[in-house]
């Protein structure tokens, strides 16, 4: 029988140049598109935004707001209509994600600088009320100016944002790739993928350890990003030591060795009140209370710029979002790699 193994032929640099010229003339340059995340402090530090083929891994201490940040980032890119965003969530239903989104879209700043909006907790009673009265949820929501604003904003970009309740037994990287390919066939839009979260993704490898399984999944996500020229953002869980550590770092992520190798960007979230250096700052109760409203983001790997840099964002968790206008952290931070307090 003839050998059916596909032989991969290398290209001369002249062939590569010719192919690139053909793509340029068609207006197609795979891997060159950049998508700003809507968080200026992040975009400035990663070269303007997420690139096609990038794999961004997002880790964080418990309660820091990993899903809140990832979902808001996805919303920002969808709302800009730069590309179609696919959000695969292993922990929340499509209905829960919709209520989060409506809460985000209801928020506006008053003339006094304060924020007003509808919390997701405010939306659930309205949903129940509409169900009991056999009315419609959108009609119930439209009676409130904030709800009406949220629906109008959602209508503007809703077709660019697709959400899916993923299955921990069925939704693997092959399934996600199939959805990406299907979206590409149906539209001419670029695509971005968000996975919430990586350790929930199914992969059964006989005799593999948990770290090996996570490593394989991470490799598959990176391959998806490269082969389909899509940015991929994945939330990653911390290991036991990371949950106990005062400051979570990239090496605390479960399956950290493979994660560190495959990722283009690693972003770690920590509660600011926990990681400000107590040797350098006199932490009064008031200062601790104020800092508890902030989360510090550390870029621990960055193939497109500087790494080991920090910025901070203010929590607005009542409305399911972060204030996107945060920037550098003025206080010195605790670093167990340098000293122990």
In sequence order, what DSSP letters do the residues of 238-268 get, joined into one string?
B-HHHHHSSS--GGGBTTHHHHHHH-SEEEE
pLDDT tens-digit series, residues 88-98: 999 999 999 99
pLDDT tens-digit series, residues 268-287: 999 998 898 876 566 666 67
Q: So what's the architecture of 30-90+166-323 in CATH?
A: 3-Layer(aba) Sandwich (3.40)
pLDDT at 25 over 90: no
Out of 116-120, 189-193, 204-208, the most confident range is 189-193
- Those residues whose C-beta lies under 8 Å from the C-beta of residue 178, and which sit 6 or more positions away, are none
pLDDT at res. 280: 59
Rounded average pLDDT over 170-191:
94
Average pLDDT of the chain is: 89
Residues paired with residue 301 on neighbouring β-strands, in sequence order: 266
d(CA 110, CA 30): 43
Residue 100 CB neighbours (<10 A): 22
pLDDT at res. 340: 42
Least confidently predicted of 56-60, 167-171, 185-189, 289-293: 289-293
* 313 touches 41 (CB < 8 A): yes
pLDDT category at 30 given cuts 50, 70, 90 is low
């Amino acid at each position: 029988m003839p050998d059916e193994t596909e032989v991969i032929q290398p290209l001369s640099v002249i062939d590569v140049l010719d192919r690139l010229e053909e793509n340029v003339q068609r207006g197609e340059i795979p891997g060159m598109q950049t998508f700003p995340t809507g968080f200026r402090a992040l975009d400035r530090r990663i070269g303007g935004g997420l690139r096609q083929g990038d794999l961004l891994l997002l880790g964080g201490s418990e309660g820091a707001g990993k899903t809140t940040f990832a979902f808001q980032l996805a919303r920002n890119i969808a709302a800009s209509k730069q590309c179609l965003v696919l959000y695969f969530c292993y922990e929340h239903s499509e209905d829960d994600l919709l209520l989060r989104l409506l809460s985000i879209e209801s928020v506006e700043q008053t003339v006094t600088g304060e924020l007003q909006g509808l919390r997701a907790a405010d939306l659930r009673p309205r949903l129940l009320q509409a169900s009991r009265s056999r009315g419609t949820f959108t009609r119930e929501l439209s009676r409130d100016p904030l709800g009406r604003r949220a629906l109008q904003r959602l209508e503007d970009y809703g077709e660019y944002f697709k959400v899916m309740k993923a299955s921990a037994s069925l939704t693997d990287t092959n399934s996600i790739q199939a959805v990406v390919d299907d979206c590409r066939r149906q539209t001419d839009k670029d695509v971005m993928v968000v996975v919430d979260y990586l350790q929930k993704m199914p992969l059964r490898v006989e005799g593999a350890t948990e770290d090996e399984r996570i490593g394989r999944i991470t490799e598959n996500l990176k391959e998806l990003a490269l082969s389909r020229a899509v940015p991929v953002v994945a939330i990653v869980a911390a290991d036991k030591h990371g949950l106990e550590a005062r400051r979570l770092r990239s090496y605390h992520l479960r399956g950290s060795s493979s994660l560190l190798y495959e990722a283009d960007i690693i972003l770690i979230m920590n509660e600011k009140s926990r990681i400000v250096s107590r040797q350098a700052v006199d932490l009064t109760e008031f200062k601790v209370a104020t800092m508890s409203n902030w989360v510090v983001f550390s870029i621990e790997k960055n193939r497109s710029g500087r790494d080991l840099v920090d910025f901070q964002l203010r929590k607005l968790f009542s409305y399911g979002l972060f204030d996107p206008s945060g920037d550098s952290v003025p206080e010195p931070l605790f670093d167990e790699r340098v000293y122990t307090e």
